[in-house]
Chain A
């Protein structure tokens, strides 16, 4: 070798304050300690102040009658605080889902209009986008609310299509499509139908691959599903026995001893962290044995172990209520499900009620049979839809413009028709660009529904505010808000990520 005599090297450890690893981890742990300390201090302070002002921070209000009326929702006179918040959550989700659906359609239309080669459509699209996205959402909501509030008073024959569609200063009333008593049995039929239709689609695709003839897999699968749905409309009562299965499950779950579940959770915590450490070590293992681990690696393992143990301690000792809560709610869920089946449920799965107008006291009002949208709902709905649609339009436009011109030229050179080129070449690529920002907009829309508080639509924030004004328990309510919105964000990002990953695989 080149160096016959490696020079003797004086190995001296550097002093601690100059050692890179030591400095790096001391700084980090100090920052962690400082952050946790500050949080602990603030929490402690808040606790002291709350005790001093006699406002306990427990969650009792969830099971106490709050004595509030909600302006709209599945239950306008909830009998517990928890139920009230639940109604608020449903309202928020209802608004968010409807808003996302309509805003996407509107946004895509406007975005395509901005790209069309029709000058007038382009300009209309531009005016739409520039106006709506530059005016704050809250201003828009208040404005729509003020406009709707100035509509005509509700009368016996308010119109515009009496008995079908009512529009007045009480809001909008439409025919209501709702699930009736056979729905859950029918749902099982539909699940089977979806399975059959999917198999049918796969077969059709195989057939097309083999013969080369167009076999319309999606269309025919849809036809199969429709057929099954129609048949299920009449034969669904045969699934009445499912209720007994759920009943059995319910009693089984409620029979699980609390300690068993508690220990299971603890074991799950420790076990998952142990598994993680093992797989981590394996990933670092060379054929020759263990690789040298860096300081980061050691700390990762330490944190994983500490996290697992802390989690186990937390669930085992500090929060035993969790397991009983899980058992109870799971058993309740199965119980509720079991009641949805059998017992002579032979009616239609889905029903339609027409709106009506009733006069209980001095003034006429919308009756409960129609699908009633209050002024607040309409204001928030139009607000979030228009506002988000303006942003979605920009995303759609940007996404399509992001596909290089060469792609459509290449498709044309291959002789693809324009529609085929759009479907097979342009849109898959544009979708990949559009998806992450679209997910962001859906998230924003969901969060923006919280502005309903300004027009009195009973979303979770508005209900929560009413609840804490009555009970003084601000902190618990705020914590419920945060949990709710965080889980919404998480679900939306999971869904978007799922499609994102699929897109990427499709693209390869």
Chain B
């Protein structure tokens, strides 16, 4: 909570004090914030001692001679993508690069992060220097080694450590970093005579750039994970093998950003916004199933079946919809739409009983056609509106058939594990897909729970409450064990598919509760006004209720995204190789790093922390700017 105004007022017991009050001298600041009463003084002393001890513990843990960080470095690639073959690795970079460009583009179009006083940046540098200096002082002196590189123990079993003075001289390079930070901070502070403001985007970008640049200077350990064998090869380092791609990513980020900035001033802004949203929406499927998986397209099948089928659905469906949006259609439209829904549902029933074969994408297309037909009455009228519906339909069909074809085609990438992706890639994949899939389901459940139709309400409520009452792990176990039993003969679902289903159903219940909070904040008057001007209930929900409800529940929805991401770690328990499993089971099983667990898990924790912290901070900013979250 950074409440700048509080500097001027006397802070009450609740308000947090800003650390740097400009009108206080250092002594005053200390007295006011650390030693205002004697109780406070004692707390400060105790707190300092505790904090330093904790810091010492953490540093001793991380830099201990017993730590084998090689285990993590060597397995860097396993942690990221498990067994994805090295020869195809460029695909990973392309996928990652697409996301980077898209992120840059969106930041260029939307982001307006404001400015940062240069002096605060300087303060960060100097603060970092101070913190680093404390760390260097607090860390225990290193353990002395004998000539064979083994630790020396005294008769009572304790380790022999070097003296404090020699420890400090050993850490000369760290002191150099401290000095460098101090100098940089000082230079910024001194040069900033006119109270300059730096753009946050530029600072962020340069910060990332520094990180990338360091790869060219510092060889961060070594790696080798080739052809399924684990080799610790000192000549081949992570930094050297990835510095080039990372640099390219960094440049692409800038290109994307400037393209976005250019679009922002151009006349295509609306189009660009819609386009980038659409790209975000289709990128998960495309990147995963098309780029990473490299489907081996059978062109004869594509031209004989897939393409004609897609075209048939597109064109015939368009004709059907064109007919349904005639202005004199009347009741016939509704009857035809309901009939189409009946056909679509019948197709699924038939699928379960195995009455007649049909491609799954045809069933999906029929269902979508029924939905479009039900929506059609809203588009009755002028030609422009009818065209909107038709274009929407053709676009959906193109997308659905393209993706269905790609997903159904086997991959050309040769893998050693059953699952296609592993490691962090799998974690992100599951998180992204669960969030995407559970969103519509959650919104539907929330609408059901707040519906004025009692049976819908009872069904949604009991579903939500039952799911929320049981732990995720039991749901995941249930699905991974039971789904194969639920399916009729001849249908199969991969373990990952079953888990995704279970996790999506679970997450949707929680999401529904968040959306429900938003729905309840929409006043009764909004419903009445929408009814009074004659909107249908679908229009009322789509135009009036949901836009307001979703806007209110953004903070909770972001919280739900974070929770979903955190809980992907449970995949490790039910036997999928996410990066926690790699750190917890795969690495400790390698003969070189037998039982080395803590390093890998710590790295996993840091990665999770980084993602979650960034998302939650961003959502807090968003919340503060929109003025939400004030109760």
Contacts and interface: CB of A to CB of B under 8 A. Distances in A.
A–B direct contact (CB < 8 Å): yes
A417 B33 CA distance: 23
A220 interface: no
Contact of B605 (A135, A405, A453): A135
Interface in A350-374: none
B471 A447 contact: yes
Contacts of B591: none
A139 B601 contact: yes
B485 interface: yes
A252 interface: no
A49 B486 CA distance: 8
A119 B33 contact: yes
Given A138-B573, A143-B602, A41 B352 contact: yes
A180 interface: no
B477 interface: yes
A447 B470 contact: yes
A397 B485 CA distance: 48
A490 B235 CA distance: 60
B569 A115 contact: no
Contact of B456 (A28, A475, A478): A28
Contacts of A122: 16-17
Contacts of A296: 454
Interface in B168-195: none
Interface string B591-631: 00000011001101100110011001000000000000001
Contact of B474 (A29, A299, A481): A481
B453 A478 contact: no
Main secondary structure of the interface of A (DSSP, over half): helix
A150 B598 contact: yes
Interface in A431-459: 433, 443, 447-448, 450-451, 453-454
Given A117-B17, A124-B51, A465 B477 contact: yes
B482 interface: yes
B134 to A, nearest CB: 13
A210 B352 CA distance: 77
B12 A408 contact: yes
Given A46-B486, A134-B608, A142-B580, A482 B616 contact: no
A35 B573 CA distance: 31
B137 interface: no
B48 interface: yes
Given A41-B352, A143-B602, A405-B14, A121 B609 contact: no
Interface residues of A, number: 67
Contact of A448 (B466, B471, B562): B471
A192 interface: no
A137 B608 CA distance: 11
Nearest to B565: A136
A121 B34 CA distance: 9
A485 interface: yes
Interface in B473-492: 473-474, 477-478, 481-482, 484-488
A115 B16 contact: yes
Interface string A24-66: 1001110110110000011001100110000000000000000
Contacts of A402: 631
A433 B486 CA distance: 44
Interface in A116-145: 116-122, 124, 130-131, 134-140, 142-143
A169 interface: no
Interface of B: 11-14, 16-17, 19, 33-34, 36, 40, 43-44, 47-48, 50-51, 331, 335, 345, 352, 453-456, 459, 466, 468-474, 477-478, 481-482, 484-488, 562, 566-570, 572-573, 580, 584, 597-598, 601-602, 604-605, 608-609, 612-613, 616, 631
Interface of A: 17, 24, 27-29, 31-32, 34-35, 41-42, 45-46, 49-50, 114-122, 124, 130-131, 134-140, 142-143, 146-147, 150, 296, 299-300, 400-402, 405, 408, 433, 443, 447-448, 450-451, 453-454, 461, 465, 474-475, 478, 481-482, 485-486, 488-490
